[in-house]
């Protein structure tokens, strides 16, 4: 029996507000509601704006499965006799009008005395102090609490190479999350180059402003080159979130999933679909966490050392994993306990899923369309996670990067290590108390305000233990 087609899922990302002028006749709004339902959309708030004997003007909020269906619904509504579409507002676009972030001062300038302290002549004393002792930059400037969010726009979400301008709204969103969740000042740097060496030079030149560098949405293999060179050249942490943030959250979720099925993490047989930045980093971190049997697959099947089409990063991870088996993704899955999808939609069939061993854990993380429809997979698995917010167990990098950078900045880190990542994953997993942990609760909510402090504390401690901290105690100013 073939797999069922993917189901449309409603999302507030495609929430439209229709201002409709509806003839004041019995049954008219029911007609509107029927048309909305026939398009697979869902009615939300219905607000009366204006009423006359002839017409009612209403703002009708509708959640749609996607942008195309929203446009089709607009055409449907225009064709209803007795309905006029006055206006359509897209909530996502309204949220981004004027951008989502701004810079604000931490002190007020209300008098001439204030001006003389924050700027000339008083600021000259601060600059002179830093020139004489460069370490004072960490106490006397924004650097102690600032992160650059750097991209070249080459691998943005599921959109691909859309360029730096189109990447800016995503990087603004990242900066907003840094501020809201971890009280970190972050600024987007969207670079008009795909040359890894140019990216490295640019970041190297702006680095004196920042306490950390968050690389984002840079395509493989350039992302590996950029991160490696920046880590060699800079004395601040450089963290490619698509690699390490993903790996941390996956490891945290898998720790708790293993506990739910009463198995040791090290004893699980794991298959990772997707050998890009996230897949390779996840494989490496799981190996460091003690997992012995990991097979990494790309579109050509199992990644093994005898293949002649591997780039440097794939060859290196094969050496780490020691993979000798050959075959397809389906071959790798037979008897495996864990499937981790970091690839693309609908690559995991129900037939292949059912060849896996028990316990059976599936992390289908492609977004917005996962590797298998969660509703199809659910009856055949013991624990299921996705990258989506409309199912339990959302694997989302926002669970990692705010706390990781908060901890790195608190320690005034010179760098970041694998031990720090392991500590972050362990702390994140521990935010789900054992007494309430279950198949549908292996990761906390992204809105759980206990997550960032817990991860930050563990990261700061691990940074100190690794000898990477400038600030060696929490009491140090």
- Specify whether 471 is catalytic: no
Pairing of strands 146-151, 212-215: parallel
CB atoms within 10 A of CB 81: 7
DSSP state of 24: S
Sign of the C-alpha dihedral computed for residues 90, 94, 97 and 103 taken in this order: negative
For 329, the token pair is: 């993704």
What does the alpha-carbon distance between residue 242 and residue 365 come to, in Å, rounded to a whole number?
13
Q: Are 409 and 402 within 8 A, CB to CB?
A: no
Q: Which residues pair with 338 in a beta bridge?
A: 270, 361
Alpha-carbon distance 277 to 264, whole Å? 26
Which is nearest to 148 in space by CA: 121, 175, 116? 175
Q: Which of 174, 229, 314, 471 is catalytic?
A: 174
The phi, psi pair for 317, rounded to 5°, reads -70, -30
- Both tokens of residue 252? 């945290």
> How many residues are listed for the chain in this entry?
477
Q: Is 174 a catalytic residue?
A: yes
* CA atoms of 35 and 72, how far apart (whole Å): 11
- CA pair distance 154, 405, nearest whole angstrom: 23
Cβ atoms of residues 192 and 202 within 8 Å: no
Those residues with Cβ within 8 angstroms of residue 331's Cβ, 6 or more apart along the chain or in another chain:
301, 302, 325
DSSP states of 87-150:
EEEEHHHHHHTT-S-----SS---SHHHHHHHSTTTHHHHHHHHHH-GGGHHHHSGGGGEEEEE
Catalytic residue among 100, 119, 457, 471: 119
Sheet containing 11-23: order of strands: 42-51, 55-64, 11-23, 83-90
Cα gap 45→19, rounded to integer Å: 12
Q: Known catalytic residues? A: 119, 174
């Amino acid at each position: 029996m073939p797999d069922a087609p993917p189901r449309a899922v409603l999302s507030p990302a495609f929430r439209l507000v229709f201002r409709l002028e509806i003839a004041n006749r019995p049954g008219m709004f029911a007609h509107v509601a029927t048309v909305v339902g026939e398009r697979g959309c869902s009615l939300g708030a219905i607000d009366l704006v204006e009423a006359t004997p002839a017409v009612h003007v209403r703002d009708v909020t509708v959640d749609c499965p996607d942008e195309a269906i929203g446009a089709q619904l607009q055409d449907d509504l225009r064709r209803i006799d007795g309905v006029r579409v006055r206006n359509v507002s897209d909530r996502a676009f309204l949220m981004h009008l004027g951008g989502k972030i701004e810079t604000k001062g931490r002190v007020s300038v209300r008098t001439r005395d204030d001006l003389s302290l924050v700027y000339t002549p008083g600021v000259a004393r601060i600059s002179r102090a830093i020139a004489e002792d460069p370490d004072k930059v960490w106490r006397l400037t924004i650097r102690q609490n600032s992160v650059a969010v750097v991209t070249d726009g080459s691998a943005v979400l599921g959109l691909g190479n859309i360029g730096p301008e189109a990447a800016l709204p995503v990087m603004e969103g990242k900066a907003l999350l840094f501020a809201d969740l971890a009280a970190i000042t972050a600024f987007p740097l969207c670079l008009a180059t795909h040359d890894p060496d140019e990216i490295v030079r640019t970041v190297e030149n702006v680095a004196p402003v920042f306490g950390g560098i968050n690389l984002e949405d840079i395509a493989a293999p350039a992302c590996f080159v950029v991160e490696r060179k920046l880590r060699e050249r800079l004395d601040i942490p450089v963290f490619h979130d698509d690699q390490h943030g993903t790996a941390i959250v996956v490891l945290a979720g898998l720790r708790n999933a293993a506990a739910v099925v009463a198995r040791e993490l090290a004893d699980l047989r794991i298959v990772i679909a997707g050998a890009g930045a996230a897949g390779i980093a996840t494989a490496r971190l799981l190996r460091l966490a003690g997992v012995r049997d990991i097979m990494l697959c790309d579109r050509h099947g199992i990644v093994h050392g005898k293949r002649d089409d591997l780039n440097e990063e794939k060859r290196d991870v094969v050496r780490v994993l020691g993979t000798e088996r050959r075959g397809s993704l389906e071959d790798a899955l037979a008897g495996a306990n864990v499937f981790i999808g970091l690839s693309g939609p609908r690559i995991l069939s129900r037939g292949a899923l059912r060849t896996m061993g028990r316990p059976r854990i599936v992390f289908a993380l492609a977004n917005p369309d996962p590797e298998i429809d969660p509703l199809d997979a659910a009856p055949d698995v013991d624990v299921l996670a996705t990258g989506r917010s409309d199912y339990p167990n959302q694997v989302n990098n926002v669970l990692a990067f705010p706390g990781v950078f908060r901890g790195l900045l608190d320690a005034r880190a010179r760098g970041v290590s694998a031990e720090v990542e392991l500590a972050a994953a362990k702390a994140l997993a521990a935010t789900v108390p054992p007494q309430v942990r279950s198949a549908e609760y292996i990761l906390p909510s992204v809105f759980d305000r206990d997550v960032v402090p817990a991860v930050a504390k563990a990261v700061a401690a691990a940074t100190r233990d690794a000898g990477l901290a400038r600030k060696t105690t929490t009491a140090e100013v």
